[in-house]
Amino acid sequence: MSQIQYQFPPPVTTLDWIVVAIYCVIVFIVGSIQHRYIKKSWDWMLGSKKMVFWLLAIAYFTILFSAHDILTYTEEGYLIGLASIQMWWDDIGWILIFLALLPILYYGGYTTSAEYLEYRFGPAARLVGAICIFWFVFAIMGFNFYAAGITLEVFAGIDRFWGMLIFAIITTVYAALGGIFAAVLTDLLQALVIWIVGTMILIPGLATVGWWDGLFASTPLPSRSFFTAPLHPDFPALGMFFAGGLAITGAWYFFNQANLQTNLAARTLNQARIVTLLFACVLMPFGSIYMGIPGMIVRALVEKGLIPPLPNTAHTFFHYVAIFAATPGLMGAVLAYFLAALMSTGDLYVVACSSTFVNDIYRRFIVKGKPEIHYRRMLLIMALILGILGSIAWYQFYVRVPYLAQALFGSTPAVSPAMCLMLLAGMLTYRAAPTATWIAGAAGVIYTLLCFLVPDIFLAPFTFGLWPKGGSWWFPGFACFVVTVVLLFILTPFFKPKPKEVLKGLVWTPRLEELEEMYFKAVAEGKRGIFVHEW
Amino acid sequence: MIRPSLISTILLLLLMIAFPISSINVFAEAKEAKLCPYNPTKDPIPWLTEYSWHIPWGIVALILMWKEGFIGLKTRPQKIMLVILLICFIFFPAIEAYWHFILPAQYPDLPTYKDTRGIYYVPCP
């Protein structure tokens, strides 16, 4: 077979830019006009619990299907093969425990998980929780825009920092105007683009390497496995489990504010559960084929000698596009596909950032008791400010680590274990004492921060000898997990838990009908849920 | 009544046992000169680590949902949800085990690697 000739970066014609511009205008208009449906801050954040379950499941999927995932997992597919889709399949324990505990969050009427922590453990726990949510959302939103910056760098020669800012501003404006209504409705449009264009560019690649058989036969033995070696220097299976299966997945269901808002916007508890199931067991595994597989296809072409090894693996996706989609019009569709993935994730994170700040910090600790219109305005203003700030906060870290996946999984889930453990302790046991729990959570967060500031001392002991290799950056979440668990076990016996009577609705109970009764009574009285009153 | 603190302790112990075992490869590597690409089919640690976390939590969750009445054998919706959740609970560990232990060995290994980045070398068997 002769060598494949292709131009890199792939040429973008005027027709392609027209396709991209049309797409952007449609999304912007659809998103922005949702502004007129926003009457209260609750509409902005939870769509007043009027959203249908299948639309929410699709929105849930598009949050996951992000621009940074496309670049990251395609690079991983090239480097480690099938293990690149692992992060999309390793959720089952978390999915089931989240489904079991969802009634507590749904009937409580909370907007954020941090709000739950206040009712369960007091204001200090809420502050720790809000910090965890911020950390996660800032990092993941910033990485999403960073991926956009890389794209503009490849296609237009614009420095990735400025490219990142341009996308951050566009996404932030339309998300700020429409809140969750805008995010969910534009996500439907974006999901269609993702599925159609994703399939259009995947099929020629698979056909070229000889479909699945040809693909697996052309890739090296370790690249055909679902797991890498436990202590691989760059992609250790242990680290991928800690950062993925343990930390980011826990965060994904329990306190990723964008997801939680999508889930809690469902009309009923059972619909909220179906949203999670549809997403986690159908849409996510199905969507994983668009992620790592293009990278595996590029690797197979290299192994067959059809193209030379890639000089910069972060550009694997663009090489794939250059080989299989570099025709006028289709290239524009591919850029729209990438933009769809970028904006569908970015918009919900912008909403999430603002909701968390206004709900958990501004309204709770800074400015109390103002009229509803004041908080609604703050949601808009903070969406604009935080959306842009969040996109640049982690920039320096992203450019320093060797591979995209290390940047993503080092930064985003780092403090997740602290938050997840506080939530699990609160929901599963009456014995969890407020003081012990928030101290353990805060210590986990502080220790994780130290891991980033002085990694030689604080991160190295948790990397199983991998430090200072790039693979070490998969382990900050493990450090946070160990510190929080150890302190929870040590401190809990020394502090007094709250009496059982006041924990009704805050700790798991088999008597769901009692919770339902309390919830509907609260709703009839104009409250948001059992614990949270309407603003 | 389930004792979540007990379950968490067991989970933690399971994880703590899995990690030291997983480091055996690295210690062995230092002594050997001849290295081969990592062969996943011979190494259960990655799969075990993953599912020593997910399986216990899955079992706890199914018990909680059973007690709450979301799944069960009394009504049709309960039965449907029970079947769906059980299928999911079995499907994910099973397919991952297949992709880790069986699939890689079903194709002949490549004689040469033109680009070795990403391939982790361990002592030859």
pLDDT (tens digit, 9 = 90+) per residue, A255-312? 887 778 778 778 888 889 999 999 999 989 988 888 889 999 999 998 888 898 888 8
Region at A236 (left for phi over 0; alpha for psi -120 to 50; beta for the rest): beta
**Cα gap A421→A416, rounded to integer Å:** 8
> Minimal CA–CA distance to A255: which of A135, A410, A387, A86?
A135
DSSP A143-175: HHHHHHHHHHHHHH---HHHHHHHHHHHHHHHH
Q: In chain B, what's the furthest Cα-to-Cα distance?
A: 63
The pairing of beta strand B35-37 with beta strand B121-123 = antiparallel
Q: What is the mean pLDDT of residues B61-89?
A: 93
Report in angstroms the alpha-carbon separations of A35 from A164, A181, A208. Answer: 25, 8, 46
Q: Domain map of chain A by residue range?
A: 14-524
pLDDT (tens digit, 9 = 90+) per residue, A36-87? 555 555 555 555 566 778 888 888 888 788 888 889 999 999 999 999 999 8
Q: Which residues of A touch B58 (CB under 8 A)?
A: 92-93, 96-97
Q: Which residues of B touch A97 (CB under 8 A)?
A: 57-58, 60-61, 64
- Report residue A497 CA to chain centroid gap: 33
Write the class of the CATH domain A14-524.
Answer: mainly alpha
**Cα gap A185→A62, rounded to integer Å:** 11
Q: Which residues of A touch B108 (CB under 8 A)?
A: 217
Q: Work out the angle at residue B22's Cα, subtended by the Cα atoms of residues B18 and B28, and round it to the nearest 5 degrees.
A: 150
Residue A240 corresponds to which tokens in the numbers above?
A: 């991928």
Give how far B73 is from chain A: nearest CA, Å: 16
In which band, very low, low, confident or very high, does the pLDDT at B113 lie, cut at 50, 70 and 90? low
Task: Please report, to the nearest 10 degrees, the dihedral formed by the alpha carbons of residues A365, A369, A373, A378 taken in order.
Answer: -10
Residue A18 corresponds to which tokens in the numbers above?
A: 């027209």
Q: With a cut of 70, which residues of chain A have pLDDT below it?
A: 1, 31-50, 174-186, 344, 391, 533-535
Q: In chain A, what's the furthest Cα-to-Cα distance?
A: 75
ipTM associated with this complex: 0.87
pLDDT at A156: 80
Query: Which comes out higher in pLDDT, residue B19 or B27?
Result: B19
Q: B123: cis peptide before it, omega within 30°?
A: no
Q: Which of A82, A86, A93 sits opposite B57 (nearest CB)?
A: A93
Residue B32 has pLDDT above 60, yes or no: no
In which band, very low, low, confident or very high, does the pLDDT at B26 lie, cut at 50, 70 and 90? very low
In which band, very low, low, confident or very high, does the pLDDT at B4 lie, cut at 50, 70 and 90? very low
Q: Which residues of B touch A313 (CB under 8 A)?
A: 117
pLDDT at A20: 82
Three-state SS at B121 = strand
pLDDT (tens digit, 9 = 90+) per residue, A3-27? 888 888 888 888 888 888 887 787 7
Q: Do B118 and A305 touch (CB under 8 A)?
A: no
Q: Which of A218, A221, A469 to mutate to test the interface with B (most CBs of B within 10 A)?
A: A221
Closest chain B residue to the Cα of A219, Cα to Cα: B110
Contact A187, A64 (CB under 8 A): no
**Cα gap A99→A529, rounded to integer Å:** 18
pLDDT at A417: 94
**Cα gap A392→A403, rounded to integer Å:** 18
Residue A100 corresponds to which tokens in the numbers above?
A: 């079991």
Residue B25 has pLDDT above 70, yes or no: no
Closest chain A residue to the Cα of B18, Cα to Cα: A238
Query: Which comes out higher in pLDDT, residue A265 or B29?
Result: A265
